[in-house]
Amino acid sequence: MAPGHRFSKENLILHPPARPKADIAAFLATKGIRVPWIFDDKESAVSYWSNQPIVLRSEHPQDMNGMTGASGLFESHVFDADNFVNATTGKPPEPGKEILERYLPYSYFNMQPAAFEQLLRERASKTPKIANYVDDMSLDAGTFIGQLNHSYWQYIHGINCSLVADNAVANRFHIFSSWNEEGSPDYNYTCFDNGKATLSGPAPIPPGLHGSFEEILRMYSSIQYHLSCQESCPLVELQIDPQNTVYFLQALFLRDQMLAGPFLENEQNSPAVKAQMVRGSTPPEGVDMKVVVTDFITNNSLNTLSDLKKTDLTGKSLGVFTWEGQNPYWETIFSKAKAVFLSNPYDIKELPRLLANTHFSHSLFFKPPLTVVISEEGTREMIKKAKKSPSTNLTTVDVNVVSDGRSAFVRF
């Protein structure tokens, strides 16, 4: 489809809709993409809700800025009719049933729409991660929270999955999936390279994903076409029901595609540290970088988040040694960085666990132009060579990194 139309990537980023999830889904539905029912208003959702669960999905214009917006900042809420009965009778929800934030009584859903939206905005403004993000980004809290609204969707049981095409390697896809069986959540990250799973875990690939794989790829390609982003690698969130029917949920724009050629056959015997995993590529000769090394959680002698807030990191590189916590502000740092080096202190088989289960983990891996995951050994080498600069007061290390998108080597 020709670029420049209302729902092209270009226009969606320049002029983000107030309800990006619902508006894009409604547009794609007119192009033959399957989406869940999206209700016109709260009243029509309530009438459907008497027999089926619905999901109240958060909407915010910042969702469209996939590179600098924060992932998973706002919550979506699932309403289940069984739990509504439990809540109104004062009994606790049944084990394994979805509830609204675990704190908000379901009786609030009987409020007038405007009052209900205002209540959710007030609750969002008091959520620590949102309050901290607004403060870190120096945003006007009233304006930012005031843009939060919600849309009402049919809730589809099954497998939730997010799909991203690799921006450096053709026919390579990263798929994150999660599901809940009998109250027990499971997660999977799988890298499919030319249709073959090259890294997968921690849970096995769910059968529903295997059974729908070809349809998922066709839907992804169709979404790229209709949103005029064939040269981009959007993150597309889908839902697969128990009958292996695939539904579109949302699309976020990330990196443009810059395919690399394989050129690292001669690196295997070099003294460099081989990365456990890489996304993104460099020229064949590699790139020299001064990496700002930090540990956001333990706050040891390395740079802290407070240090980084005082620094213009545009075009710089970051080494991140603790990344299992969550702070939405990090994502804005990563989107500015030239490259990010993530430390995995575990065996490579544990890497899917770190990547699999949160929007935040996905952002860490996909927002930088180049993401390199190094082992604990490589991390120790990087820390050993790191030095604090008297002029900037930042701890940095000089590295050379070469990547062809599948493999990467780092020299300190």
Q: What is the DSSP string of 135-181?
A: HHTT--HHHHHHT-EEEEEEPPPSEEEEEEE-SSSTTEEEEEEEEEE
Query: Do 233 and 354 fall into the same domain?
Result: no
Range of the domain at 211: 9-74+148-252
pTM of the prediction? 0.85
Query: Do 36 and 178 fall into the same domain?
Result: yes
- CATH assignment of the domain containing 361: 3.50.30
Which residues make Cβ contacts (< 8 Å) with residue 325, sequence separation at least 6? 296, 297
Sort strands 184-193 and 77-79 into parallel, antiparallel or unpaired: unpaired
Query: Do 56 and 152 fall into the same domain?
Result: yes
Which residues make Cβ contacts (< 8 Å) with residue 108, sequence separation at least 6? 116, 119
* Residue at 246 is within a domain: yes
- Dump pLDDT digits (tens) for 285-311: 888 888 887 754 444 555 666 666 666
Res 95: pLDDT: 45
Residues 129 and 135: their CA atoms lie apart, in Å, by 10
Sort strands 387-388 and 277-279 into parallel, antiparallel or unpaired: unpaired
- The verdict on whether omega for the bond into residue 92 sits within 30 degrees of 0, i.e. cis, is no
Query: Do 389 and 276 fall into the same domain?
Result: yes
Task: Check residues 160 and 396 and name the one with the higher pLDDT.
Answer: 160
Query: Do 223 and 313 fall into the same domain?
Result: no
Q: Which of 208-222, 327-341, 394-408 has the least mean pLDDT?
A: 327-341
Query: Do 208 and 302 fall into the same domain?
Result: no
The mean pLDDT value for 101-118 works out to 66
Query: Do 240 and 332 fall into the same domain?
Result: no
Q: Which of 252, 279, 311 is the last residue of a domain?
A: 252
Q: Which of 227, 252, 277 is the last residue of a domain?
A: 252
Name the region of 117 (left: φ>0; alpha: ψ -120 to 50; beta: rest): alpha
Averaged pLDDT of the chain:
79
Most confidently predicted of 94-98, 307-311, 385-389 = 385-389
* Residue at 178 is within a domain: yes
Query: Do 203 and 302 fall into the same domain?
Result: no
* Residue at 101 is within a domain: no
Res 68: pLDDT: 53
Q: Where are the alpha helices (DSSP H) in 176-230?
A: 207-226
- Dump pLDDT digits (tens) for 140-152: 999 999 999 999 9
Range 79-100 burial, b when 16+ CB lie within 10 A, else e: bbeebbebbeeeeebeeeebbb
Query: Do 303 and 269 fall into the same domain?
Result: yes
* Residue at 214 is within a domain: yes
Q: Scanning the structure block, which residue is given the tokens 């084990």?
A: 95
Query: Do 59 and 177 fall into the same domain?
Result: yes
* Residue at 108 is within a domain: no
Model confidence at 89, in pLDDT bands (50, 70, 90)? very low
Element (H, E) at 78: strand 77-79
Query: Do 310 and 289 fall into the same domain?
Result: yes
* Residue at 328 is within a domain: yes
Task: Check residues 222 and 182 and name the one with the higher pLDDT.
Answer: 222
Residues 266 and 129: their CA atoms lie apart, in Å, by 46
Number of domains making up the chain: 2
Query: Do 154 and 294 fall into the same domain?
Result: no
- CATH assignment of the domain containing 45: 3.30.470.20
Task: Check residues 227 and 76 and name the one with the higher pLDDT.
Answer: 227
Q: Which of 252, 273, 308 is the last residue of a domain?
A: 252
Range 130-154 burial, b when 16+ CB lie within 10 A, else e: beebbebeeeeeeebbeebbbbbbb
